[in-house]
């Protein structure tokens, strides 16, 4: 009986370790802005678009991200000058603020032109 418990614990720990490893390696799904809905809240996403407007506030920026299908507000803790940048890849999580959907950006990567 003790042997079965030890084997079960080892398998459980290996499974948890594998899940943690995969969560750091796998990237979120690519999505178009028009496909972001209330069902998307809390989901990690990747979006490619253009930054069209930036408002600098104390410690973070509010931006507008636009692709061919629409635009969405994006929040980032960045001090870089990001206004009017074409072709950026944004990795972040969909959130709702004041009944409006927005992306809380974890990474903003400028793509080659």
Nearest CA among 100, 109, 37, 50 for reference residue 78: 109
Q: Is the pLDDT of residue 80 over 90?
A: no
Q: Are 50 and 91 in contact (CB under 8 A)?
A: no
Which tokens go with 25?
């390696």
Domain definitions of the chain by residue range? 29-110
Going by pLDDT thresholds of 50, 70 and 90, the confidence category of residue 8 is: very high
Q: How many CB atoms lie within 10 A of CB 91?
A: 17
DSSP character for 69? T
* Threshold 0.85, pTM exceeds: no
Q: Which pairing describes strands 44-57 and 29-30: parallel, antiparallel, or unpaired? A: parallel
DSSP character for 58? T
* CATH architecture of the domain formed by 29-110: Beta Barrel (2.40)
d(CA 102, CA 63): 10
pLDDT digits (tens, 9 = 90+) for 18-66: 998 887 788 888 899 999 999 989 999 999 999 888 888 887 889 999 9
d(CA 29, CA 11): 29
Q: Are 104 and 43 in contact (CB under 8 A)?
A: no
| Per-residue pLDDT, 83 | 64
Tally the residues of the chain: 113
């Amino acid at each position: 009986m003790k042997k079965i418990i030890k084997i079960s614990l080892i398998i459980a720990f290996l499974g948890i370790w594998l899940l943690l490893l995969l969560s750091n390696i796998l990237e979120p799904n690519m999505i178009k802005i028009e496909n972001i809905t209330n069902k998307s809240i809390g989901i990690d996403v990747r979006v490619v678009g253009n930054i069209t407007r930036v408002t600098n506030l104390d410690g973070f920026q509010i931006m507008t991200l636009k692709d061919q299908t629409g635009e969405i507000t994006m929040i980032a803790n960045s001090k870089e000058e990001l206004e009017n940048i074409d072709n950026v890849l944004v990795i972040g999580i969909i959130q709702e603020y004041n009944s409006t959907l927005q992306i809380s950006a974890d990474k903003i990567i400028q793509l080659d032109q």
